[in-house]
Every structure is written in C-alpha cells, then in structure tokens.
Amino acid sequence: MSSTRQTLSFLMRRFREAGIRPHSKFGQNFLIDLNLLDVLVEAAELTADDVVLEIGTGTGSLTALVAPRVAAVVTVEVDPVMFQLAGEELHALPNVTMLHCDALRNKNSIRLEVLQAVAKELAAAPERRFKLVANLPYNAATPIIGNLLGEERPPELIAVTIQKELADRLVAAPGTKDYGALSIWVQSQCRTEILRVLPPSVFWPRPQVHSAFIRIRPDAELRSRIPDRPFFHRFLRSLFTHRRKYLRAQLLHAAAGKLDKAAVDEILEHLQLNPSLRAEMLPPETMLELAETVRARIR
C-alpha cells in the first residue's frame, strides 16, 4: 500500500489523472507531511481490538495506515470522485468498510447507516473498542464531535485533525472568548488535550488557518453525572443562542416558555447565581447543576 502515502506529488498526480481538484465545499485539505500522519496514528493508541471510524476518507492514505493495526475500519466519504479514488487504493484491505454518504443526517445527529456499520463491527467480538481517527472535514468537525459524544456508546478515544480555532474552543476556560456551549459539552464528559498545532504549509491545498491534532477521551465517571444527555445538549445550545444576554434572559430563552420570570429567579437564587452573570462565566460543573435544576422543574 505504499502508493497511498499521501505526498504532494502523489496527490497532484492522482487528481490530474482523474481530472479533478479538491472541493472547498467538502472541506478538503489533505495532510501531506508523512511524519505528521504517523503522529496522528500514534496518538490514537491503536490496538488489534479497535474498530475505527474515519470521516473523510480522502484518497485513503490515513485509512491504509490505520487498517493493518486494528480489527476494522469504517470510513465515510461524501465526495463521489474521492470515494472512487480511495476505493482503488483500499480494495485489497479486507477489514475496511467504505461508505459513500454524508456522515451527518443533519446538524444534530450522525447518519444511522454510519452508526450501524460501526455497531456491526463492534458486535463481532466482546473486547472490541470504538475510536474515531480522522482528518475531519473542517466544515463538519463541530457537529461530528458533538453528536458522537451524545451517543450512548461514544468513541473511547478521539484523535483527529481540526481547525486550531475549534481546538481552542474545546479546551477553553470559563470567561474566555472561546468558551461556549461546545466547550462545556465536551469538558463535562471528556479529558481533552491539544497535541500539536499544524501550519497551513503541511496541507494541500493550503488552508487560510492553522490546524491542530486533538485527543479527546470520554470519561465514564464524568458522563455518569449527566442523567439526560440529549436534554443537556439542547439546553447548552439554546442557552448560548444569545451569548451576550445576561443569565436570567438566557435561561428564559432556554426554558422555551416552560418557566416564567419568577421561576427562573427562584432557580438562580437557589443555586446562588447572580442573574447578571452570563452563561460563559459558569464552569461545566455549575452548568450541569443548573441544567438539572431546570430539567426537574419543566419535565
């Protein structure tokens, strides 16, 4: 499989042969530094029991590096031309399942076909573990990560390439400009670290922004503190819809008419929260307590 080593010359030759160019609408920026591809694979801590989901097959270069190390790979590509190109490189790998579809059913959910393909491979042996390893398309990285963490069985480890701006949001501290609903959603249930920042020069075509390798480890103990993850996810998104409003007004919006001002004031007083705070000032632990208090009042 040496031909799948994704050098710039390899990519340009394959694209020239196919008469195509990368599509910005699919968020296609290909990592061309071979050493960095190896770094991403090592960050995933792959074992022979792993079932890896890859979103954004591209030419199949990362797929070919991962497949010999794991039990199975489910790789998803939305671009029909890239799907065909990757198929020519990966057809000899028996443990690779290729799906030609958008990994997202909509912005709030993963496509069922993708989840079913992963579940099928996980069911083949009790010791199998689920991981996400990918150079994620820039335009889909946020909903992919967010929605996978909402699943009952999320990946045990996520090692992905994303925009640095998104990586900064995932690890942001309360009160900073990058802190928001996604920060709280991830930090409330995972341990997250930025492994390396990548300059535009290591991609083709060169993006206008820096990127980053990030590793996310869902923590079962943290996740157990969230009794209703779908509610918590919706609550966070709604709360931050009007980011610059004060907490009292944000809560009234998030409650969607199910709580009046008096009830909101009672909740804030009970939790000893200043109504003139903004949601961006609250750490994940406080936000979870607030969400649970609201949920108990409106269910």
Q: Which of 41, 102, 37, 99 is nearest to 69 (CA)?
A: 41
Output the pLDDT for position 256.
Answer: 85
Output the pLDDT for position 286.
Answer: 98
pLDDT, tens digit, for every residue of 234-263?
A: 999 999 998 889 999 999 999 988 999 999
Q: Do domains 2-223 and 229-298 have the same CATH topology?
A: no
Structure tokens at 145: 């990560």
CATH classification code of 229-298: 1.10.8.100
Task: Tell me the sheet residues that pair with 204.
Answer: 30
Looking at residue 172, the DSSP 8-state letter turns out to be P
- Architecture of the domain made up of 2-223: 3-Layer(aba) Sandwich (3.40)
Rounded to 5°, angle at Cα 114 from 112 and 119: 90
pLDDT, tens digit, for every residue of 48-59?
A: 999 999 999 988
CA pseudo-torsion sign 58, 62, 68, 72: negative
Q: Which of 161, 275, 153 is nearest to 214 (CA)?
A: 161
Burial 184-195, CB ≥16 within 10 A → b, else e: bbbbbbbebeeb
Using CA atoms of 195, 7, 210, 200 in order, give the dihedral in degrees to the nearest 10.
150
d(Cα 153, Cα 189) in Å, to the nearest integer?
13
Q: What values do phi and psi take at 275, rounded to 5?
A: -65, -15
Q: Which of 128, 194, 121 is nearest to 161 (CA)?
A: 194
Amino acid present at 95: N
Q: What values do phi and psi take at 132, rounded to 5?
A: -110, 120
d(Cα 56, Cα 82) in Å, to the nearest integer?
9
Domain definitions of the chain by residue range? 2-223, 229-298
Instruction: Spell out the per-residue pLDDT of the chain, length 299, in tens.
Output: 344 456 666 766 666 666 666 665 666 778 878 789 999 999 999 999 999 999 999 889 999 999 999 999 999 999 998 899 899 989 999 999 999 999 999 999 999 999 999 999 999 999 999 999 999 998 899 999 999 999 999 999 999 999 999 999 999 999 999 999 999 999 999 999 999 999 999 988 888 899 999 999 999 999 999 999 999 999 999 999 988 899 999 999 999 889 999 999 999 999 999 999 999 999 999 999 999 999 999 87
Q: Which of 218, 195, 58, 64 is nearest to 132 (CA)?
A: 218
- Distance from the Cα of residue 298 to its chain's centroid: 30
Output the pLDDT for position 281.
Answer: 97
Question: By the 8 A CB rule, do 194 and 214 touch?
Answer: yes
Q: Which of 240, 243, 217, 221 is nearest to 291 (CA)?
A: 240
The position carrying tokens 């990030």 is 214
